[in-house]
Structure 1
Amino acid sequence: MKTLTIEIKDDKVLKLLRNLENMQVLRILENRPQKVNQKLSEKFARSISKKTAVKLQKHLNEIRNEWERDIY
């Protein structure tokens, strides 16, 4: 048994394939889009401007430093 992926360009072909499936010559498997494992850094690269990224990084450093200071 082989599994093939085909692109159907005409509804008549789909009807033909359905008929072949009814004759139990083949089986149609609905193909779901596959998830692509992608790093978050690649997924969100360039999603914000360089200027915004610099401001965000500066703010993150400031709030991190607040945790390191002594509060009495």
Structure 2
Amino acid sequence: MIRTLITPEKQDVSIHIPENYVGKQIEVLLYAVDEINKESKPEKKKPSDFRGALNLTNEQYEDFQNHLKDIRNEWNNDI
């Protein structure tokens, strides 16, 4: 693998392909490094950010809680 950074002086750039790459499929990427640095830091979420995300009615909430209790109790059952 060959990786290098360049700062082009004009719009055209020529690259030399090593002999052992001839006949192989290669990938060429072009992006400005400063664009990647701006996008690479996603905002970290805290568990509290998800509070109320389900927007359940009281009945749906009770059903959900009962379901959770049921599946947790399954761990105590002998197989």
Q: Which has the higher contact order (CA 8 A, sep 6+)?
A: 1
TM-score by length of 2: 0.37
| TM-score with structure 1 setting the length | 0.39
Structure whose residues are more often helix by fraction: 1
